[in-house]
Amino acid sequence: MTTDEGTWLSPEAHERLTKELEYLSGPGRAEIAQKIDAAREEGDLKENGGYHAAREEQGTIEARIRQLEHLLANATVGEADTDTSVAGPGKVVTVQMGPRETRFLLGSREIAGDADIDVFSEASPLGSAVNGAAVGSTVEFTAPNGKTLSVEVKAVEAF
């Protein structure tokens, strides 16, 4: 969830992301620096695939560190609302869109962790439409292709 206070995170997600940041900022950076040094010792850097791969990995790690730092600095940490009559952050929402039913977690992908579930941000067209909607209500949103779609909120459950 993205609010004026920041992205909503469960305490578990906050702890998991904090540990990931600590690892990447410490041992993760040290490991990639060793890989770069080892590859550099192999000689000519222009044709050294191991060196270029390690540098690319370093860029990926640094980008993830920046992402986590920003996310954690702006996060609102708390337990998910247990009211299953209204869709909200940290809840699994089931909607009926035309002939098909779709089930997803409303909030940040970071909340889901390794769970095998689709995630829609509150800032997404569908997420913003269903956020705060009661079970049984029908809401409309404009899809990225410009079409207006109606969805019925069928069920809400805690994640």
Domain boundaries, the chain: 2-77, 91-158
Q: Which CATH architecture has domain 2-77?
A: Orthogonal Bundle (1.10)
Q: What is the DSSP letter of 29?
A: H
User: For residue range 40-94, what is the model confidence (pLDDT) as tens digits?
Assistant: 887 777 777 888 899 999 999 999 999 999 999 988 888 877 888 999 888 999 9
| CB neighbour list of residue 141: distance below 8 Å, 6 or more residues apart | 125, 126, 128, 129, 148, 149, 151
- Nearest-Å Rg of the Cα atoms of the chain is 21
**Whether CATH 3.10.50.30 fits 91-158:** yes
Higher pLDDT, 107 or 102: 102
Is the alpha carbon torsion for 121, 122, 124, 125 positive or negative? Answer: positive
Helical H runs in 47-124? 49-73, 109-112
Residues comprising the chain, all counted: 159
Q: What is the DSSP letter of 84?
A: T
Q: Cα 25 to chain center, whole Å?
A: 20
Higher pLDDT, 113 or 90: 90
pTM of the model: 0.70
What is the crossing angle of helices 11-23 and 49-73, to 10°?
Answer: 140
